Amino acid sequence: MTTKLKTPYVPTSPGWMLVTPDIAREWLKVNSGNRNVRQATVKYLADQIRVGRFERIGDGIDFHYDGRLLNGQHRLLAIIMADMAVELLVVPGLSDEAYTVRDRGNNKSASDVLHLPGNLLADASLCFRITTSTAGRISEMDQRDITTWWLPAHEAMIKGARSSKGLSSASIRVGFGARWAIQVNARAREYVATQYKAMMANDTDVMTKATAALWKRFSQREVKKGSSIERVDAAVLSFYCADPIRANVAPLMRDAEGSRNILRAVIVNMEEAYTTAPLGAEHPYMFPPKLTQTQIAPRLRQSVKPTDNSLGLHLP
């Protein structure tokens, strides 16, 4: 005969209820047979709760008919970590069989849920990682927000381009896309887009000296699938080498952290630059002058300056 546990606050029928940290602690006392706790998941959910981005979903906090907690430990731990109450669907009275068959189907990807291209969502995830300096998960709400203002840069890169095996595509798109977004004239923007396409097509005849060096680096065995080169660093290197004023010099990024900070500043400010641009403007991004002058203005760190200034850019 199964002994029924005394589990406080569990309703007698399925329904939504406000789960406080104290309730979560009581329910975790009867947590039995759940998967190992993933602390990164708990932290991610707690962060979403704190900033008001925790989304109500139909996945319940499930209890066995004997009172044991079957599902939901990560959400309960997140409520405790965030020290905030959250409304959750609570489902009591389930059998062991109900637990063993859950999560066995095909999980929906963010692309399935948001109905957006996978490569666009990959860009959004990398932008999030660069600006937050974290390898944690990104919520669907954050992905949706980022893709709204990142889309023009994304489309400028992929238009007429084809994917090349062995290249870190999202990293290159983000690096080149951010560089394209801050260019002040059409010719400079065309240069960035053309060089990205040349890399994707392995077209060495079109590549400038800087792009060719970047392509060679990314085409090596060490940066292919399973690469030891980190995606953020690859995006920073792409952003650095995509600068039109470096077209005719072999890129030598001596200040990696400085370049990382500039790329972070660009991406952080792209949303404001996009939303403040006039409707129908020739360029979709209008960066604040102060930011452009102090953090985004191209800076040469090589001993040799390029001789070709045909793109009309100001050389510091």
Shared-domain flag, residues 61 and 180: no
- Domain-located, residue 7: no
Asked whether residue 10 is assigned to any structural domain, the reply reads: no
Per the model's pLDDT, the better-predicted residue between 312 and 126 turns out to be 126
Same domain? For 163 and 28 the reply is no
pLDDT, mean of residues 220-232: 57
Three-state DSSP at 18 gives: strand
Q: Are 61 and 97 in contact (CB under 8 A)?
A: no
Residue 92 shares a structural domain with residue 125: no
Model confidence band, residue 89 (pLDDT cutoffs 50, 70, 90): very high
Q: What's the burial of 218, exposed, middle or buried (CB within 10 Å: 0-12/13-18/19+)?
A: buried
More confident residue, 314 or 128: 128
114 lies in the same domain as 257: yes
pLDDT at 207: 94
What pTM, to 2 d.p., does this model score?
0.62
Q: Which range in 190-194, 199-203, 305-309 is most confidently predicted, on average pLDDT? A: 190-194
Domain boundary among 41, 76, 100: 100
What percent of the chain shows pLDDT beyond 90? 30
Q: What is the mean pLDDT of residues 58-67?
A: 85
What does the pLDDT read at residue 116? Answer: 66
pLDDT tops 50 at residue 63 = yes
> Residue 144 has which token pair?
């949706």
Q: Does 9 map to a domain?
A: no
Strands of 69-71's sheet in order across? 15-19, 86-94, 61-64, 69-71
Domain end marker among 65, 100, 135 = 100
Poorest-pLDDT segment among 24-38, 55-69, 193-207, 213-227: 213-227
Q: Could you list the residue range(s) of the whole structural domain that residue 42 is in?
A: 15-100
**% of the chain beyond a pLDDT of 70:** 72
| 310 inside domain | no
CB distance 19 to 56 below 8 Å: no
Q: Give pLDDT, residue 132.
A: 83
The strand pair at 61-64 and 15-19 is best described as unpaired
Q: Which tops the pLDDT comparison, 112 or 29?
A: 29
Question: Is 163 inside a domain boundary?
Answer: yes
Residue 257 has pLDDT above 70, yes or no: yes
Domains: count for the chain: 2
Among candidate residues 46, 77, 100, the one where a domain is terminated: 100
Highest mean pLDDT among 57-71, 133-147, 285-299: 57-71
Statement to judge: residues 224 and 125 lie in one domain: yes
What average pLDDT does range 78-104 have in this prediction?
79
- Shared domain for 142 and 169, answered yes or no, is yes
Residue recorded with tokens 């404001």: 272
What mean pLDDT, rounded, does the chain reach?
Answer: 78
Same domain, yes or no, for 284 and 145? yes
Which position has the higher pLDDT, 311 or 10?
A: 10
Same domain for 50 and 116, yes or no, is no
pLDDT, residue 31, reads 87
Q: Do both 129 and 252 map to the same domain? A: yes
Asked, for residue 171, whether it belongs to a domain, the answer is yes
Residue 134 shares a structural domain with residue 206: yes
253 occurs within a structural domain: yes
DSSP 201: T
> Does one domain contain both 146 and 37?
no
Q: How confident is the model at residue 98 (pLDDT cuts 50, 70, 90)?
A: low
Residue 19 confidence (pLDDT) = 95
Q: 208 pLDDT band (50/70/90 cuts)?
A: very high
**pLDDT for position 295:** 58
DSSP structure class, residue 31: B
Q: Is residue 139 included in any domain, yes or no?
A: yes
Residue 236 shares a structural domain with residue 118: yes
pLDDT band at 287 (very low <50, low <70, confident <90, very high): confident
pLDDT at 250 over 90: no
Give residue for tokens 């065995």: 221
Q: How confident is the model at residue 238 (pLDDT cuts 50, 70, 90)?
A: very high
